[in-house]
């Protein structure tokens, strides 16, 4: 069984295709589940150019996902989800927002270090202005804090900081172990995200170094393509399946109303 838990529609303003087009493509691929996980609204319209507004969430996203879940219930399980952002200072707002809706799961991602959207190609030049080791330290501090905040169910693309190929000069093993001890303590899953293969780094998120730690700590895995167009649904899942067999005992996490269970990939 295969699922795709990380997808984005045109509502996030940097992806193509309607919610239904993603679901239709998932049905054609014979996936068991498809997660609708557009970027969550944020307070004060923060980063509004890359996410839906609160009004769009209430008027369009939520009712459409729920309607499509019913429409396709005999062909595929549609999950109502979000990709949330960990941004220090917004924790209370995010917790309140999340609690007001019956999401199946919420992916927790870090896309910003301060005001710097470090994974945005427009601002990639800023890596040349910074100490890359310090960027990595700050990024993983945010990942650790996002887990400790207990806002989310899945850690999204947990080494996104490598997206453009920038690598730390120091060994990150100790830092990574401290991060994933916290992830383990709050019983979160970590996604295997194939979109890195479509980015300059040409590598799945997370790296095998991290996957080895996840396996050692018995941290469950989730699966997503991070599709930004319908034809990216399930992209490179053959690669992901091999990693899940090796580091996740062949199992992935699935969620219903934020309760986790596991199924075997096939």
Rounded distance, CA 160 to CA 261, Å? 26
pLDDT digits (tens, 9 = 90+) for 212-241: 999 999 999 999 999 999 999 999 999 999
Asked whether the beta carbons of 235 and 196 are under 8 A apart, the reply is: no
pLDDT at 49 over 90: no
pTM for the model stands at 0.97
Residue 203's pLDDT band (boundaries 50, 70, 90)? very high
Q: Does the pLDDT at position 80 exceed 90?
A: yes
Residue 143 has pLDDT above 90, yes or no: yes
What is the structure's pLDDT at 160? Answer: 98
Q: Which pLDDT band holds residue 6 (cuts at 50, 70, 90)? A: very high
Q: Is the pLDDT of residue 48 over 90?
A: no
Return the bridge partners of 7, or none.
227
Structure tokens at 38: 């557009």
Q: What is the pLDDT of residues 98-108, one digit of tens each?
A: 999 999 999 99
Whether 64 has a pLDDT exceeding 90, the answer reads yes
Residue 187 pLDDT: 98
What gap in Å lies between CA 3 and CA 104, rounded to an integer? 14
User: What average pLDDT does the segment 184-196 reach?
Assistant: 98
How high is the pLDDT of residue 47? 84
Q: What angle do CA 94, 96, 99 make, to 5 degrees?
A: 105
The domain of 70 spans 3-264
Band (266; pLDDT cuts 50, 70, 90): confident
What is the pLDDT averaged over residues 138-164?
A: 98
Q: Could you give the CA distance from residue 141 to residue 182 in angstroms, rounded to a whole number?
A: 11
> How much is the pLDDT for 50?
86
Comparing 114 with 47, the larger pLDDT belongs to: 114
- DSSP annotation string for the chain: --EE--B--GGGSSS-S-HHHHHHHHHHTT-SEEEE-PBPP-GGGTTGGGS--HHHIIIIIHHHHHHHHHHTTTT-EEEEEEEEE--TT-HHHHHHHHHTS--SEEEEE--EETTEETT-GGGGGGGGGS-HHHHHHHHHHHHHHHHHTT--SEE-STTGGGTTS---SS--HHHHHHHHHHHHHTT-EEEEEGGGGGSTT-S-BS-HHHHHHHHHHT--EEEE--BSSGGGTTTTHHHHHHHHHHHSTTEEEEEETTEEEEEE--
Q: How confident is the prediction for the chain on average, in pLDDT?
A: 97
pLDDT at res. 118: 98
Residue 46 has pLDDT above 90, yes or no: no
Q: How far apart are the first and last CA of the chain?
A: 5
Q: What is the pLDDT of residue 237?
A: 98
* pLDDT reported for residue 235: 98
For a pLDDT cut of 90, what percent of the chain falls above it? 96
Percent of the chain whose pLDDT exceeds 70: 100
Contact present, 86 and 40 (Cβ < 8 Å): no
The Cα 91–Cα 107 span in angstroms is 14
Quick one: pLDDT at residue 74? Answer: 98
- Which domain CATH number covers 134? 3.20.20.140
- Count of domains forming the chain: 1
What's the pLDDT score for residue 172?
Answer: 98
Q: Which two tokens stand for residue 26?
A: 């998932």
């Amino acid at each position: 069984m295969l699922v795709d838990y990380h997808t984005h529609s045109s509502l996030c303003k940097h992806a193509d295709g309607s919610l239904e087009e993603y679901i239709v493509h998932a049905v054609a691929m014979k996936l068991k589940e498809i997660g609708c996980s557009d970027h969550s609204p944020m307070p004060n319209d923060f980063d509004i150019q890359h996410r839906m507004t609160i009004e769009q969430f209430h008027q369009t996203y939520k009712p459409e996902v729920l309607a499509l879940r019913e429409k396709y219930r005999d062909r595929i399980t549609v999950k109502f989800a979000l990709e949330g952002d960990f941004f220090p200072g917004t924790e209370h707002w995010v917790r309140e927002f999340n609690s007001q809706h019956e999401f199946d799961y919420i992916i927790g991602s870090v896309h910003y270090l301060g005001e710097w959207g470090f994974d945005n190609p427009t601002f990639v030049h800023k890596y040349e202005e910074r100490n890359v080791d310090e960027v990595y330290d700050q990024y993983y501090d945010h990942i650790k804090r996002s887990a400790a905040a207990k806002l989310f169910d899945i850690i999204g693309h947990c080494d996104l900081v490598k997206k453009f190929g920038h690598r730390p000069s120091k060994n990150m093993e100790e830092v990574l172990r401290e991060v994933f001890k916290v992830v383990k303590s709050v019983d979160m899953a970590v996604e295997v995200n194939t979109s890195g293969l479509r980015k300059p780094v040409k590598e799945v998120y997370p790296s095998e170094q991290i996957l080895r730690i996840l396996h050692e700590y018995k941290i469950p895995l989730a699966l997503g393509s991070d599709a930004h167009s319908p034809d990216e649904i399930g992209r490179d899942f053959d690669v992901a399946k091999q990693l899940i067999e090796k580091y996740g005992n062949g199992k992935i996490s699935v969620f219903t109303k934020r309760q986790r269970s596991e199924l075997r990939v096939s």
